[in-house]
Amino acid sequence: MKPFFFRDRERERAMEILKLFFVLLSTALFLSLSESAPLTADYYRKSCPRFSQIIQETVTNKQITSPSTAAGTLRLFFHDCLPNGCDGSVLISSTPFNKAERDADINLSLPGDAFDVIVRAKTALELECPNTVSCADILAVVTRDLVTMVGGPYYNVLLGRRDSRVSKASTIPGALPKATSPIPQIIDIFKARGFTVQEMVALSGAHTIGFSHCKEFSSQIYNYSKSSSFDTQYNPRLAQGLQKACSGFEKNPTLSVFNDIMTPNKFDNSYFQNLPRGLGILKSDHGLYSDWRTRPFVEAYAADENKFFKDFARAMEKLSNYKVITGNQGEIRHKCDAIN
């Protein structure tokens, strides 16, 4: 039988081991929570009470002075979220040691106004509540407010994202649909990220605003085949108009046309109404109507704007939550174009 002092020492040692276990358990739990903290609607209610107001003021001023901002920012948002998640990585500038996402070929045409509105919002928020609001959250909310401002549906944006510390151009090829991508390929890109065909078509409705550069569809309107100078999926009058509008695009790569020739500055369902009439601009636009998987949704949205708005809003909510990073997985950047 062991002496009492041996038993006491073993009891003390067991208690120390038990305490250490609980410390490790609580630390692991804390880290787990901080790494995967859920997004919330009122994330900045205490830390930055004027967050929504500052965003709204910035968006209003920018859109009034530069009406193409809404479409450009919506595109910027897609190009941030779809490849690697909504983490603000597309906003980071390249350095001599790293070629960032924004310098990938498909991102070179992202408009300056879109980057500028994010910089303006970030600057105003840093003055109001320093080191508090992430660039990823700013991009998500600015996009929603701009869509609403030009007539689109309001949708909820949950907050609490952190900004990525990584941005590599090498991750972009194949992760974003191109203007010339066939519909099966576009479906696969969205499917790999958990989006249905219907959600893909609804999100494609973003083409109801904005413009496309002539070089993105020039092969469809010039010297298309031996029998026709343009792709016969185009309405002939539109094709002829595009040929004139894009004349000289090789010397002037900035030449562009509106995606929705009917109501180019209004977010509505006109884009879908145009497609059956051959009034789409891009090859991917025509593909949405000609592919049996996507055509029923095009027809449904062309007939019912409320359905399009409802499905677009739901898909945007889902996209804005795609692969977000929270807690200590990321950071709050001081400047949106540079890692801290």
At residue 38, the pLDDT reads 84
CB atoms within 10 A of CB 303: 12
Closest CA to 285 of 179, 174, 175: 179
Residue 26 lies in a domain: no
Give 46-67 pLDDT, tens digit per residue: 999 999 999 999 999 999 999 9
Indicate which CATH number applies to the domain containing 270.
Answer: 1.10.420.10
- 89 in a labelled binding site: yes
Q: Tell whether 8 is in a known binding site.
A: no
Q: Residue 22: inside a domain, yes or no?
A: no
Q: How many CB atoms lie within 10 A of CB 13?
A: 10
Dist. CA 74–CA 88, nearest whole Å: 13
Residue ranges making up the domain that contains 141: 50-171
Res 141: pLDDT: 98
161 and 196 in one domain?
A: no
* Bridge partners for 212 per DSSP: 257
Region label for 39, one of left (φ > 0), alpha (ψ between -120 and 50) or beta (otherwise):
beta
Percent of the chain with pLDDT over 70: 89
pLDDT tens, residue by residue, 98-114: 999 999 999 999 999 99
- Residue 194's pLDDT band, with cuts at 50, 70 and 90, is very high
Asked if 191 and 314 sit in the same domain, the reply is yes
At 270-286, the pLDDT tens digits run 999 999 999 999 999 99
Is 187 in the same domain as 314?
Answer: yes
Mean pLDDT of 315-325: 97
Weakest-pLDDT range from 43-52, 140-149, 180-189, 224-233? 224-233
Domain count, the chain: 2
> Is pLDDT above 50 for 319?
yes
pLDDT range class, residue 327, cuts 50, 70, 90: very high
Identify whether residues 193 and 117 lie together within a single domain.
Answer: no
Q: Does any domain span residue 283?
A: yes
How high is the pLDDT of residue 9? 62
pLDDT in the model for residue 23? 45
Task: With cut-offs at 50, 70 and 90, classify the pLDDT of residue 28.
Answer: very low
The C-alpha angle with vertex 280 and arms to 278 and 281, in degrees rounded to 5, equals 130
Burial class of residue 5, CB neighbours in 10 A (0-12, 13-18, 19+): exposed
Q: Is residue 267 part of a domain?
A: yes
Q: Is 285 marked as binding a ligand?
A: no
> What would the mean pLDDT of 61-85 be, rounded to a whole number?
97
Do both 205 and 237 map to the same domain? yes
152 and 190 inside one domain: no
pLDDT of residue 32: 43
The average pLDDT across 165-181 equals 96
| Mean pLDDT across the chain | 92
- Residue 268 known to bind ligand: yes
Q: What's the number of CA atoms in the CB half-sphere (13 Å) around residue 270?
A: 17
Annotated binding residue 80: yes
Is 101 among the annotated ligand-binding positions? yes
- Residue-level pLDDT at 297: 98
pTM over 0.75: yes
* Mean pLDDT of all residues in 226-250: 94
pLDDT tens figures, 139-153: 999 999 999 999 999
* 208: in domain: yes
pLDDT digits over 4-17, tens only? 554 566 666 656 65
Q: What is the pLDDT of residue 226?
A: 86
141 and 215 in a single domain? The answer is: no
Residue 207, annotated as binding a ligand: yes
Question: Is 276 marked within a binding site?
Answer: no
User: 194 and 303: one domain?
Assistant: yes
Annotated binding residue at 260?
Answer: yes
The catalytic site residues sit at: 79
Are residues 191 and 164 located together in one domain of the fold?
no
- The burial class, CB within 10 Å (0-12 / 13-18 / 19+), for 206 is buried
Give the contacts of 313 (CB within 8 A, at least 6 positions apart).
153, 154, 155
Distance CA 110, CA 131 (A): 27
Considering only CA atoms, which of 99, 103, 139 is closest in space to residue 120? 139
| pLDDT given for residue 12 in this prediction | 64
Residue 242 lies in a domain: yes
Residue 11 lies in a domain: no
Task: Judge if 258 and 292 occupy the same domain.
Answer: yes
Q: What is the pLDDT of residue 27?
A: 45
Q: Is residue 28 part of a domain?
A: no
Q: For residues 203 and 163, state if they share a domain.
A: no
82-120 burial code (b ≥16 CB/10 A, e <16):
bbbbbbbbbbbeeeeeeebbbebebbebbbebbbebbbb
**Would you say residue 234 has pLDDT above 90?**
yes
What CATH number should be reported for the domain holding residue 160? Answer: 1.10.520.10
